[in-house]
Amino acid sequence: MSRRQREHEEGQAKLTKSLSKNPSPPAPLPASGARGEGVAIGRDPASGARGEGVAIGRDPASGARGESFAIGRDPASGVRGESFAIGRDPASGARGEGFSVGSKCGIDRRQFLDAAIGTGLAAAAVSACAAETAEKATQPGTYRETLETPLVGRHQVVVAGGGPSGVIAALAAARSGADTLLIERYAFLGGNGTAGLMTCYNGFRNQRPPEALQTVKGIPAEYIAELVRLGGVTDVDPYPHAKHDVRAGDLPYCIGFDAEAAKIAALNLLAKEGVKLRLHSWVVGPMMDGVRVVGVVVESKSGRQAIAADVVVDATGDGDVAARAGAPFMGPASQGDRMGMSLMYQVGGVPASIEGTFGGIRIGGHHAEHGRVVRWGPGFGGDGLDVENLTRAEVETRRKLWEDVQALRKKPGHESIYLALTATGIGVRETRRILGEYVVTEQDAIRSTRFPDVVAISSNPMPSYHGTRFFFEHEGFEIPYRSLLPKKIDGLVLTGRCISCEQAPFQSARSMAPAMAVGHGSGCAAALAAKERVEPRNLNVQALQKLLVSQKAELRM
């Protein structure tokens, strides 16, 4: 028996053994002839949802020695066990060599080649591979991915999430000299402030007489100045207390704003500061080197891509990056009741004859003449991170809202009212609070504990714990840098509503003005850490505070 024949026989035996493990080999072994010239095309059109495979085994010009060219492909294999195999020997020469890439089923490279070379069995082999992959893919339990993700960028600071906190963090990082990228899943910026149809930024100052100190300044105040310049600050202040002239830079406790102007204000400032921007991109996980976050993995219409960073700022609101990096977090159930979700909406055509708040907040400025009112729509409970619960929430609240507005229109004098707009998604108030190096407690908030590493101040009420009136006498509380540092994980700084605190201070600091102030702190910290090549937890806090003060942040009450 010649060497070629022996190889063929062995290959066929191995392949047959491998195929026999498969309960339902999808393709019969073709009788390709003793020496294997030929063209083979194998296809598994019936594999459907379970991993269709298209396979081509081909030997278009094999000549006497049975060269073979084979392509096996499983285009729909998805995350794990996708099989893409190429066996190829386009110009084989004497021995019919070939190569194969990435067979992830029970047929290894050698078997694949043995099968392909000179026998025309490549198609059957690949079909079998696809079927086996599909078999594994549909096993109950987990689906193990094997991915190679292209690295498409590298930055000193990457901010994940373009809400109020993330936008300010990115501005602060760039202002502090870091090459900064801001990543956002939506097509626009502003987070819950714009996507959630908010109308007022709460918490720029405390309400304690006589001075009612402005506790949020610096870059957040610059952002409000840009909103003013765009005509995006509305006259509405639903909180009856001392008046301040926002247009003169004297920021009141609550600033009514136009969401569309807010989106543009963010874009303008980011462009001016040189922040790179990536929209339409979900951060699906961190890139890890041990316990250090070294970048993020994003999914978008461009596919799955990796972006390296010296320091990542988690501004996703939900602490997605930190949680997926393995940082421990506090669930809402553990302390007090979870704050519920609400679908915000706008009605238009509210006639002038209807006075008062009309169950919401009247939109001021140029919208006022159209009788627009933002209202709190139907609420929903449960976990704001559970996609099934979120789906139920959207279906039920949207249906209910539609019916509510139709019922409203039937009331005499309300016929002109219509549902003008609903939020991009239901507003999720509370999810993860990441466990940090320090947890700000309710008592810290109540007693206004002073921290040597203060980076921001929150002077907003904690409604469920102490009501709103309490805070008319409260100066606010300090947020220490340590509450921005997740336990166990390096290379990562927290910002916004996922910072490390108990639920009572969370209710205060989650408001958008304090979230922006924290963003200022986290952005400066990330830039300093990246530039000085130190871990965020080892940062010189005095240097950080000095930088913040130089950017006009307020750190003292």
Instruction: Give the residue among 396, 344, 353 at the shortest CA–CA distance from 373.
Output: 344
Concatenated DSSP letters for 286-320? EEEETTEEEEEEEEETTEEEEEEEEEEEE-SSS-H
Kindly state the DSSP code that residue 134 receives in the 8-state scheme.
H
Q: CB-wise, 184 or 502, nearer to ligand FAD?
A: 184
Report 341-370 residues binding ligand FAD (CB under 6 A): 342, 344
> How near is the Cβ of 309 to ligand FAD at its closest, in Å?
14
State which amino acid sits at residue 124. Answer: A
- Smallest distance, Å, CB 307 to ligand FAD? 12
Task: Kindly state whether residue 496 participates in binding ligand FAD, applying the rule CB under 6 A.
Answer: yes
SS3 84: strand
Q: Which of 81, 87, 193, 371 binds ligand FAD (CB under 6 A)?
A: 193
Q: How far is the CB of 396 from ligand FAD (least distance, A)?
A: 16
- The position carrying tokens 């952005």 is 523
Under the criterion CB under 6 A, does residue 499 sit at the interface with ligand FAD? no
For residues 54 and 174, which CB has a smaller minimum distance to ligand FAD in the complex?
174
Query: Smallest gap, in angstroms, from Cβ of residue 161 to ligand FAD?
Result: 3
CB of 102 to ligand FAD, least distance (A): 29
Q: Does 322 bind ligand FAD (CB under 6 A)?
A: no
Closest listed residue to residue 86, CA positions, set 105, 67, 71: 71
Q: Is 161 in the site for ligand FAD (CB under 6 A)?
A: yes
* Closer of 15 and 515 to ligand FAD (Cβ): 515
With CB under 6 A as the contact rule, which of the stretches 31-39, 137-145, 192-200, 240-248 interacts with ligand FAD?
192-200
Residue 371 DSSP label: T
Which secondary structure element, helix H or strand E, spans residue 325, and what is its range?
helix 320-325
Sole binder of ligand FAD in the list 100, 119, 511, 551 (CB under 6 A): 511
Residue 20: both structure tokens together: 């026999």
Q: Which stretch binds ligand FAD (CB under 6 A): 32-40, 41-49, 204-212, 316-324?
A: 316-324
Q: Look at strands 151-160 and 303-314 and give their pairing.
A: parallel
Q: Are 114 and 5 in contact (CB under 8 A)?
A: no
Closest Cα partner for 190 from 219, 221, 161, 230? 161
Tokens of 506: 């969370």
Amino acid at 455: V
Question: Could you give the CA distance from residue 463 to residue 472 in angstroms, rounded to a whole number?
Answer: 12
Return the range that interacts with ligand FAD (CB under 6 A); candidates 98-106, 123-131, 264-272, 317-325. Answer: 317-325
497 forms part of the interface with ligand FAD (CB under 6 A) = yes
Q: Does 432 bind ligand FAD (CB under 6 A)?
A: no
Bond preceding residue 210 cis, omega within 30 of 0 = yes
Q: Is 427 in the site for ligand FAD (CB under 6 A)?
A: yes
Between 113 and 306, whose beta carbon lies closer to ligand FAD? 306
State CA 246 to chain mean position distance: 32
Site string for ligand FAD, 164-183 (x = CB under 6 A): xxx----------------x
Instruction: Give the count of beta carbons closer than 10 Å to the beta carbon of residue 427.
Output: 22
Binding ligand FAD (rule: CB under 6 A), the pick from 11, 162, 378, 480 is 162
In the bound complex, what is the minimum distance in angstroms from residue 345's beta carbon to ligand FAD?
A: 11
Q: Which stretch binds ligand FAD (CB under 6 A): 61-69, 106-114, 213-221, 423-431?
A: 423-431
The pattern of x and - marking residues 267 through 296 that bind ligand FAD according to CB under 6 A reads ---------------xx-------------
Count helices and strands in the chain by DSSP H and E runs: 13, 21
Asked if residue 191 binds ligand FAD (CB under 6 A), the reply is yes
Taking contact as CB under 6 A, which single stretch among the options 43-51, 82-90, 263-271, 509-517 is the one that binds ligand FAD? 509-517
Name which of 228 and 259 has its Cβ closer to ligand FAD.
Answer: 259
Q: Between 30 and 472, name the residue whose CB sits nearer to ligand FAD.
A: 472
Q: Please report where in the chains the tokens 């910026």 appear, as a residue.
A: 189
- Stretch of 53-61, 94-102, 218-226, 504-512 contacting ligand FAD, by CB under 6 A: 504-512
Dist. CA 291–CA 195, nearest whole Å: 33
DSSP code at position 227: H
Is the CB of 193 or the CB of 295 nearer to ligand FAD?
193
Alpha helices, DSSP H, located in 22-53 = none
Going by C-alpha positions, the residue among 298, 55, 269, 256 that lies closest to residue 169 is 269
Q: Give backbone dihedrals phi and psi of 436, rounded to 5 degrees, phi first.
A: -110, -175
Instruction: Using CB under 6 A, count the residues that bind ligand FAD.
Output: 37
Q: Which residue of 85, 182, 200, 323 would you call a contact of ligand FAD, by CB under 6 A?
A: 200
Does the protein bind ligand FAD through residue 378 (CB under 6 A)?
A: no
258 binds ligand FAD (CB under 6 A): no
- Asked if 195 contacts 169 with a C-beta cutoff of 8 angstroms, the reply is no
In angstroms, the CA 318 to CA 320 distance is 5
Identity of the residue, 106 or 379, whose beta carbon is nearer to ligand FAD in the bound complex: 379
Question: CA-CA distance, 60 to 40, in Å (whole number)?
Answer: 9
> Rule CB under 6 A: which residues touch ligand FAD?
160-166, 183-186, 191-193, 196, 198, 200-202, 282-283, 315-318, 320, 342, 344, 427-429, 496-497, 510-512, 515
